[in-house]
């Protein structure tokens, strides 16, 4: 799923801090970069797919993996800041694969619940045929001491083949937890984006629900060395003040534009979803954030040729003032070390 770029090859996780500047209007972004920093620069391993959360004690925690796309030997680590991100402790191991030549893949779901419990969903995987076949188990770890110690990994039943977790777990107002995932209903079909639900604080999971699936997706042949499997995959969720849940989905092969993102919404707590509709944004690895003032922020990996007018590849952000009906004020973030992305 991941396309390598220079920043990932250096093993670097970068951070930017923003302020909401309401005095900026027109084409200027209302978000101004206050400072940038390097969270972690690996010397042997890469640092990929970061997750970010604030623990109940105020510490900022970042999780990351050390390999991309299920390559052998990938592990997961946690790094901590006790001073609002100014300095960072050395990374500590979170979990290693139990599979021969396996990989812990995707760390973006790190989440702090309202009661202070930390949840870390990830995938224990192994490639069995190029990019389109894997052994994959969805697992979750828990911490009750701000990430100092973690439970053993517990399997999450999903009802799909080759499940992958992507996106932060969200905690609804009624206490239910929704974990966005993707996988296949059958080995010969396209990916589908969905979620699994927990009604007991993440102790047990079930009720797999599909958010997006297109039976007409163009699936590449197994002999294709470049193209992965296709369909809806990475997703990010947010609960809005009007009790809607918004999902932004990545796709491959669903529409004519390989990187055009789609949106879907639920009006009943994630039980049913509208048919995903294309958005005038191209990107991958989407991440939604609702600010305290009600502005909706979408971060994503930007690619060349997009309709939002960003002229370089990298990390882009777009803003919505109407809960995702329209997206404006697109901006490309500069890498703190000056790396250029592909």
Domains of the chain in start order, with CATH, are 6-333 (2.120.10.10)
Predicted structure pTM score: 0.89
Question: Bigger pLDDT: 313 or 171?
Answer: 171
Residues 150 and 166 sit within 8 Å (Cβ to Cβ): no
pLDDT of residue 174: 96
pLDDT bracket for residue 34 (50, 70, 90)? confident
Average pLDDT over residues 66-94: 92
pLDDT digits (tens, 9 = 90+) for 221-271: 655 555 557 999 999 999 999 889 999 999 988 988 888 999 999 999 999
Q: Which of 319, 285, 313 is nearest to 108 (CA)?
A: 285
pLDDT digits (tens, 9 = 90+) for 53-65: 999 999 999 999 9
Average pLDDT over residues 179-198: 94
Per-residue CA distances from 194 to 200, 247, 322 (Å): 19, 10, 24
pLDDT bracket for residue 129 (50, 70, 90)? low
Residues 317 and 298 sit within 8 Å (Cβ to Cβ): yes
If you search the block for the tokens 């999450």, which residue do you land on? 156
């Amino acid at each position: 799923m991941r396309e390598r770029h220079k920043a990932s090859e250096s093993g670097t996780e970068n951070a930017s801090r923003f302020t909401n500047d309401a005095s900026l209007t027109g084409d200027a972004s209302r978000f101004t970069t206050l400072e940038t920093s390097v969270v972690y620069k690996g010397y042997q391993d890469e640092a990929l797919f970061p997750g970010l959360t604030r623990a109940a004690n105020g510490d900022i925690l970042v999780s990351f993996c050390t390999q991309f796309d299920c390559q052998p030997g990938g592990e997961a680590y946690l790094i901590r800041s006790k001073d609002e991100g100014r300095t960072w402790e050395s990374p500590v191991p979170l979990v290693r694969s139990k599979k021969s030549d396996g990989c812990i893949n995707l760390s973006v779901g790190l989440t702090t619940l309202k009661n202070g419990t930390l949840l870390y969903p990830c995938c224990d995987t192994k490639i069995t045929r190029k990019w389109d076949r894997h052994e994959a188990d969805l697992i979750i770890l828990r911490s009750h001491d701000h990430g100092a110690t973690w439970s053993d990994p517990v399997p999450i039943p999903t009802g799909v083949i080759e499940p992958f977790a992507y996106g932060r777990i969200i905690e609804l107002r009624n206490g239910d937890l929704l974990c966005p995932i993707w996988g296949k209903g059958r080995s010969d079909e396209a990916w589908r984006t969905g979620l699994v639900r927990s009604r007991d604080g993440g102790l047990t999971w079930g009720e797999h629900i599909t958010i997006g699936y297109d039976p007409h997706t163009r699936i590449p042949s197994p002999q294709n060395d470049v193209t992965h499997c296709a369909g809806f995959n990475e997703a990010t969720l947010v609960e809005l003040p009007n009790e809607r849940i918004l999902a932004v989905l990545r796709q491959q092969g669903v529409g004519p534009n390989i990187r055009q993102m789609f949106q879907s919404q639920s009006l009943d707590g994630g039980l049913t979803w509208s048919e995903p509709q294309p958005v005038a944004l191209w990107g991958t690895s989407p991440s939604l954030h609702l600010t305290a003032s009600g502005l909706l922020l979408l971060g994503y990996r930007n690619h060349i040729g997009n309709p939002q007018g960003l002229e370089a590849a990298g990390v882009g952000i777009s803003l919505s003032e109407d809960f995702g009906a329209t997206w404006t004020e697109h901006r490309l973030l500069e890498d703190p070390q000056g790396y250029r992305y592909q």
